[in-house]
Structure 1
Amino acid sequence: MPQRHSKNNNDLAFFTYEEKRKLGYGTQRERLGKDSIKPFDACCLCLKPLIDPLCCPKGHAFCKECILECLLAQKKDIKRKLAAHEAQKKLEKEEEEEKLMLQKSKELDAFDQQNHGAVPQYHDRNDSEDKNGFHGANSVKVTSFEEEALRNMKAFWLPSATPEASAKVEAPSTDTICPEGQEKLKLKSLFPISFTEEKTDQKSKRGNGRPAELDLFRIQTDVRRRLALLGAGALATGLLKSSSAYAEGMIPEVPKNYKSYVDANDGYSYLYPSDWRDFDFLGHDSAFKDRNVALQCVRVGFIPTTKTDIRDLGPMDEAIFNLVNNVYAAPNQIPTVYDMQERTVDGKNYWTFEYDLEAPGYGVSAFATVAIGNGRYYTLIVTANGRRWSRLRNRLKVVAESFKLSELSA
């Protein structure tokens, strides 16, 4: 018999060189082109150029719409798994109760059989058993449960009678994860980024020979509340100057990026961002909101009162804490008051304060200004989502401090 070639010899106890080469043993080398690597400014989900980019703490960048869709889908999946787990726990509890009932029923039947076993048994002429079929203390009676079990007994050799194996659902994790890094990720941990192109003169000065793509962009992270609070002292000076200018009437024109709203019939006026639009807010006299984010809004309302000044409500800190805790906060919200100040404009006193309302899953931050005049108690509240507050805080404080009362027109 002729010797078989090594390429066709497959009955050996070890792999030949040809077999190893076909199976991919050893180091695999391949040159990757530029299309094999994701661009720096591409979303990790849709792989397209970033639109409204958000970044996770690990540095993975996503489009805002893509990551919100991903996290929302994860939350829906977690909710579905939790519901399935709860249904399984309920079913297991019902099965356990049914087993206990069956056990008690068997004990009662055994007790009943033992008691009837002492009664003499009677047979007819044909030596047949009595109709109950008892034969003394050791007799066995088929109970209704056993008859039902015999009728419904599963047969593993018949496909139609094969029992279905129930898959056990484990308790799912309630944490959403980053689709790129697989670590825990919450919506509030995402922060926006912006890309800035390097100037041509900076490029010429660099001259380090590196690819332009590596030095084309730099990430500018958006500071959150911590940095805003740290810089509050520096910002307070400019804000106080602007509020005093309003008080003295030294700014005849409306500041840039703001519009003024004047209600001469009800005796008040204030500024609001120029890109906001008016809308109807139940129980309020006037309201404006952001065109895209409904939580960013300003609203003014008033109620009749017999008091003549805001100081008639009592000490400022005590009155504001009672107002936020008992009026502004819902039962499921935790209120926190950060800052409060009093200002006087044209002989009228105003209280302006900042507060947060935290609830499971979301938070709202706001400035409020309250004042009393014209026989009315006025309230202006300007709010924003807790995650966007650090970016909008200074802009919205101008709105709160611009609120001013005037005499009612005839």
Structure 2
Amino acid sequence: MNLFATWKSNPPCRIYVTQSSDDGKQVFPPPADQFRPLQSVFRRRLLTGVGAASLLAVGANFGGSTSFLLGFSPEAARSLKLDALYPVGGYSRYIDTNEGFEFVYPESWLGDQTLLYRAAGKAERSLDPPPLGGGGGRRRNVNEPAVAFGPPGSTGELNVSVIVSPVPIDFSIEAFGGAEEVGEAIVRTITGSGKRPDVKGTLRGCRLREDSVRKVKYYELEFEVESSVFQRHNVAVCCARKGRLFTLNAQAPESAWPQFKSQFYTIAHSFNLV
């Protein structure tokens, strides 16, 4: 039997759904035609669901997707302070609205746990009523960092920190002279001005960076500190405003300096008062 000839002479029948009515039989279109209007609805819902999932992934930086996208325009992302939420170009931004400064640090570095616990305790104590004697609580040591970051599992030899110290309201760093004189004075202060003969400091470079809008002068320094037990390479930034002296210091063992040199320069250039 020729099946093709049989099929051609008796083509498959199209099946219709019928419904009895007073006028006779009403013929409905095939199921495919009935559900065709729903296809656009399903397609629209599918696209909406995919779009919502994509937004959630970007918002949560799932798999680093947001950081990857922001990396296409890092300067624009940094100008909008988006790196305070998502790492951009390998760096995260820290903003201290209380003390009024900001800087970037390597995204893999972690905050100093001791300082974090102390800050949490301070916030908790601020909820307590003031003492009856009227005296305030113990003030933070002026040499204690306001914040510090370092690689996870490190011993503290490699880190970046910021110290905010009270100074007279009319204090001016420019009174020490030019950038080089300021650098030498700061290195002498760090090494104890000769009171610690076993510690030696050497200034390697300095430059002045000015913010004409906020009227702040930033002194960026690079120096080495060595003794019989350690050798460190430091990059620091100093500035003063309204009775407060700000000092950012990034330090690394001398042996690790070549590896972190570029990162330290990036950190120093990013330090600003807000």
- In the superposition, the TM-score normalised over structure 1's length comes to 0.36
1:341 aligns with 2:239: no
Distance of aligned partners of 1:312 and 1:334 in 2 relative to their CA distance in 1, 3 Å threshold: same
Deviation at 1:269, TM superposition (A): 0.8
Is the contact between residue 267 and residue 374 of structure 1 (CA under 8 Å) also seen in structure 2? no
Deviation at 1:273, TM superposition (A): 1.1
Is the contact between residue 191 and residue 200 of structure 2 (CA under 8 Å) also seen in structure 1? no
Deviation at 1:362, TM superposition (A): 2.5
* Correspondent of 1:298 among 151, 154, 160: 160
Is the contact between residue 367 and residue 400 of structure 1 (CA under 8 Å) also seen in structure 2? yes
Structure whose residues are more often strand by fraction: 2
Higher relative contact order (CA 8 A, sep 6+): 2
* C-alpha distance in structure 2 between counterparts of 1:348 and 1:271, whole Å: 19
Which amino acid in the other structure matches residue 209 of structure 2? Answer: R
* C-alpha distance in structure 2 between counterparts of 1:319 and 1:326, whole Å: 11
Is the contact between residue 307 and residue 372 of structure 1 (CA under 8 Å) also seen in structure 2? no
* Correspondent of 1:367 among 235, 238, 251: 235
Is the contact between residue 350 and residue 370 of structure 1 (CA under 8 Å) also seen in structure 2? yes
* C-alpha distance in structure 2 between counterparts of 1:357 and 1:349, whole Å: 25
Q: Secondary structure at the match of 1:317?
A: helix
Which amino acid in the other structure matches residue 177 of structure 2? Answer: G
* C-alpha distance in structure 2 between counterparts of 1:273 and 1:390, whole Å: 16
Match of 2:222 in 1: 354
1:327 aligns with 2:190: yes
Deviation at 1:258, TM superposition (A): 1.1
Which amino acid in the other structure matches residue 182 of structure 2? Answer: A
* C-alpha distance in structure 1 between counterparts of 2:198 and 2:266, whole Å: 29
Deviation at 1:369, TM superposition (A): 0.2
**Where does structure 1 differ by over 6 angstroms across 4 or more consecutive aligned residues?**
none
* Correspondent of 1:391 among 233, 254, 259: 259
Match of 2:11 in 1: none
* C-alpha distance in structure 1 between counterparts of 2:177 and 2:170, whole Å: 11
Distance of aligned partners of 1:401 and 1:278 in 2 relative to their CA distance in 1, 3 Å threshold: same
Q: Secondary structure at the match of 2:186?
A: helix
* C-alpha distance in structure 1 between counterparts of 2:162 and 2:81, whole Å: 23
Q: Secondary structure at the match of 2:160?
A: strand
1:261-276 counterparts in 2 under 5 A?
261-276=94-109
Deviation at 1:251, TM superposition (A): 6.5
1:318 aligns with 2:202: no
Which amino acid in the other structure matches residue 382 of structure 1? Answer: A
Q: How many pairs does the alignment contain?
A: 161
State the superposition RMSD in angstroms: 2.4
* C-alpha distance in structure 2 between counterparts of 1:288 and 1:366, whole Å: 15
Distance of aligned partners of 1:261 and 1:328 in 2 relative to their CA distance in 1, 3 Å threshold: farther
Is the contact between residue 173 and residue 182 of structure 2 (CA under 8 Å) also seen in structure 1? no
Q: Secondary structure at the match of 2:222?
A: strand
User: Deviation digits for residues 52-100 of structure 1, max 9, x if unmatched?
Assistant: xxxxxxxxxxxxxxxxxxxxxxxxxxxxxxxxxxxxxxxxxxxxxxxxx
Deviation at 1:360, TM superposition (A): 1.8
User: Deviation digits for residues 178-208 of structure 1, max 9, x if unmatched?
Assistant: xxxxxxxxxxxxxxxxxxxxxxxxxxxxxxx
* C-alpha distance in structure 1 between counterparts of 2:101 and 2:242, whole Å: 10
Match of 1:19 in 2: none
Q: Secondary structure at the match of 2:148?
A: strand
Which amino acid in the other structure matches residue 321 of structure 1? Answer: E
Which amino acid in the other structure matches residue 164 of structure 2? Answer: F
Q: Between Structure 1 and Structure 2, whose CA radius of gyration is higher?
A: 1
1:97-176 counterparts in 2 under 5 A?
none
Is the contact between residue 191 and residue 199 of structure 2 (CA under 8 Å) also seen in structure 1? no
Q: Which runs of 5+ in 1 are unaligned?
A: 1-241
* Correspondent of 2:93 among 252, 260, 273: 260
Q: Secondary structure at the match of 2:265?
A: helix
Deviation at 1:328, TM superposition (A): 4.1
Q: Secondary structure at the match of 2:267?
A: helix
Q: Secondary structure at the match of 1:311?
A: helix
1:285 aligns with 2:130: no
